[in-house]
Structure 1
Amino acid sequence: MADLFDIPSGPADPTADSGTVPNGPLADRLRPARLEDVIGQSHLLGSDGALTTMLAGHLPSLILWGPPGVGKTTIARLLADHVGAQFVQISAIFTGVSELRKVFDSARNRRANGQATLLFVDEIHRFNKAQQDGFLPHMEDGTITLVGATTENPSFELNAALMSRAQVLTLRRLELKDLELMAQRAEIALGAKLPLDGPARDALLEMADGDGRALLNLIEQVMAWVAAGPIDRHALATRLQRRAANYDKSGDGHYNLISALHKSVRGSDPDAALYWLARMLDGGEDPRFLGRRILRMAIEDIGLADPEAQQVCLSAWETYERLGTPEGELALANAVVYLALAPKSNAGYAAYKAARRGAKAHGSAPPPKHILNAPTRLMKDEGYGEGYAYDHDETDGFSGQNYFPDGMKRPVYYVPVDRGFERELGKRLDWFVAQRQKRQSKV
C-alpha cells in the first residue's frame, strides 16, 4: 500500500467533474479525483485489473455490482472523465419513461455534435424488464455507454438481453484496512485527528460494516463532538447509540448470508441458522425474501423426508404477511428451527434435475402409443390406446406397464433416502420395482 501522504486526499479543484461539493458532506468532499485513488477495488483498478485493461481499449457498457458505499458512483464519474464523455446520472427509483426519453434525446444530440455520453443508472435493478429493454437500442448504436449500479445479483434482477450487452464487474466490500485509509484521508481533509483511543477507532471502523459512505458519515458525527480527551469504545457506542459488537463481524454480502443460513439449515444446526436469520433481519433484509428462501429450503433439502415442512414454511410466510414486523419474524424463526431439525433429503430435487437432463436428451421421442388417448377413429386406427392396462382394474392396483418412450432404456431418477417419511416411500418404491420386474418376466 502506498504511503498515505503520497495519495491525494481529494481533487485539487473541489468543483471539478469528479462530483465533489465545497463544504458539502464529507463523502462528497473526499470523492477521489483519479481512478487510481479509489480505495479497496484494486482487483478492478490495479495494473492488471479488469477496468484498467478495458480502458486501454474501448470502454464497454458496464454493470457495477457491489454493496453500498464501495465506490460505484465514484468509479462511474471517473470513467466518464477518463474517456471524455458527458456524465449523466439518473436513479431507477425516481426516473420514469418520459424522463428516460429526454435523457436519450439529449444523448443523441450530443452524439451528433461529437460528444459521447456515459449514462450512470443507480439502482438499475429497480427498472422492470420493459424499461431495461428500452436501453438496448441506444447502447447498440453508441448513443450511450451505460454504467448501471446495483446492490442486487444481476443474474437475478437484470434481463438476459441487457446482460449480454454489458460486462458485469463486482466491487468488493471495503476491508478494515481500506476503511482505515479512508479515515486517515478524512483526518487530512478536516485538519484534525479523530478524538478516539485505539479500541474506539477500531470500533468505529467496524460500525461502518464495509461501507465507506457510512464511515465518513460517522466520522462527521464524531468530529462534531466536544471531548476533553480521547473517547473510549464504550463512550463511542453510547454516543452513537450503536453497539460496536453488532458490527464486529466480517459482514458478508447479502448472498453470502443467505448461503450461510441455507447451509446451516441443511447441516441441521438450528442455533447457527437462527444466528444467520437474525443477522439478515438486523441488516434490514426483506422478511418476505426470507420467507421465499426458507420455503425453498424445505423443498430442496427436506423434500419428501418430511412433507409437512413445506406447509410449515408456507404457514410461517403467511403469518408474517398478516402480522408484519417484528411479531411475524418469530414465525420465520420457528420455521427455520423446524427445517434445521427435520430429516433431510434432496432425493426429489436430484431426481427432478436428472429428469430434466433426460428430457433434453430424449426430448423428441413420443410417448408409447398404448398410453395415448384415442378420441378419433383415425387415432384408434393408428393404434393409440391399444393395449393400455387400466391400473385400477388390476388386483393390486398396479399394471407395471412401460410409460417411457419406446426404445428408451428405463432410467432411475428418484432414489429416496432412508430417513423420515421418505423411508416409507422407499419401501413403496421397492415394491413397485419388484412387481414391475415380475410382470416383465412373464412377458
Structure 2
Amino acid sequence: MTTFSAWRTVGVLWAGRAAVVAAVVVLPAVAWAGTTWDGGVIDTDFTTGANWDDNSAPTFTGGTSTLSFGIGGSTATVNTAADLARIILDRDASFTIANGSGSLTFQGEDVGGVLTGITASPTTVGTTAAYTISESIALGASQSWNVANNGAGGTSLSVSGVISGAGVGLTKISSGTLALTGANTFSGPLTVAEGVLSINSWNSANTNGPLGNNAANVVLGSATSAGTLRYTGGNSIPNALLRGIELAAGGGVIQMGGTGRDDGYVHLNGSSISGSGPLTINSPGMTRFIIVGSSTFSGPVAVQAGELQGSVLGSGTFTPFGVGTNGLGSAVTVDAGAILTTYSNFGTPTVLLGSLAGSGTVRTETSGSQLQIGGDDTSTTFSGQLQGTFAPVKVGSGTLALTGANTFSGPLTVAEGVLSINSWN
C-alpha cells in the first residue's frame, strides 16, 4: 500500500507474505520566515522576495523578525519601514545596509539574557570584516549592539544614519569597533562596556551628535572589561561644555586622533571624570586630552601615548587626574614619549598625584604652581623628566625615586617620606 500526503511525511512500510501494513507519521507544516538574505541579483531592495532565501520577503512589522545577512550580494537597501527585533551580520566579506526610502527600528531580541539590536561578527576565525549601515535607526528600547572580533581578525560596524529614541540608551558590547558618525538624537545613556566606540566629533551636552543628545556621562567599561572611546575628528574642540566620563570598575581607554598637540584636542570643560576604574590615555599622534577642574574617579591613570592635560582655574588644591583611594590623588604612570601637563591661566594651584611612575615627561605651564606627589604612601620610581617652573612636594610615607635629567626650576620639598636620587647635580 502506498500513502500520499500533502504534508511532510515519514513513512514506515512493513511487508509480510499475506499483507502489507503501512504507518504514516504526518508532521505539521513548519513556517519558514525567510530571514536570511541571499539576494542582490535583480535589485538590492528589502521588499524583493527573491532577495531572501525562501523567495519571500520577511515580516517588517511588529518588531519580531530577526534578519540575517550572511550570504549573497554586498548591499541591501532599506526601501520600507522595517520594525525588527534584531539584525545579524555574520558574513566574512564586507556588507552595507544602505539608506533607501525606508527606515529601521530595532526592538531588541533576548540573546543570552541581553536585549540585543545588532549582532556583527564574521563566521570564520581570524577574518577581518567591515560592515556599514547608512540608514536611520530608531531604538524601540534600550539595547546592546554586539560587535565582536572573531579571533585575531578585527570586526568593525560603521553607522552613519541618525540613531533616535526618546529616553532609550545604547550599550556597545564585545571586542570589535563600533563607529558612530551621525547627528544622533537618542536621549538615553551611552555605555562602552567593551571594545571600541569610535566617534568623529565630540558633541556638547544636550546637542545632537555621535554620543546622543543628553547631558549624562558616557560610561566606559563594565565590571570586568575596559571600554575604549576613540576620537577621530581632526578639528580641535576648545572650551565646549562637553559631557563627562564615568569609569566603571573595568576602566576606560581614551584615544585621540590627529598628528600634533593642537590637532584634535578635546576639553572636558564643566564636566569631569568620575567612577572607580582606571583611566588610560593612548593617543599615538601626540594629541591632547584636556580635563578642566577636578575629577572624582578613584582608579589609577596610565598615559601610554599622547598628552593628558589637567587645566585648573585659580589657586587652591585640585585633582584633575583623580582622587585616588584616599582623596590625595590617583596613582599616575607616564610612559616614555608621553606627557602629563598641568595648567592654570591664573593663580598658583596645587595639583595632587597619589604617586608618580614611568619614564615620560611631567610638566607645568603655570609658573609658581605646586605638584604634590606621594599621598597614597606607595614607593615608586620616575625616570622621566620634570619640566617647568613649579615646586614639587614629596608627601606620604613611601619613597619617590627620581632618576631622570630633570629641568624644573622651582623649589623641591620633602615634606614626608623619602626622596631618592641617583646623582647630586
TM-score range (shorter-chain normalised) is: under 0.3
Computing the radius of gyration from Cα coordinates, the structure with the larger value is 1
Q: Give the TM-score normalised by structure 1.
A: 0.27
Structure number having the greater strand percentage? 2
Say which structure is richer in helix.
Answer: 1
Larger RCO: Structure 1 or Structure 2 (Cα < 8 Å, ≥ 6 residues apart)?
1
TM-score computed with the length of structure 2 as normaliser:
0.28
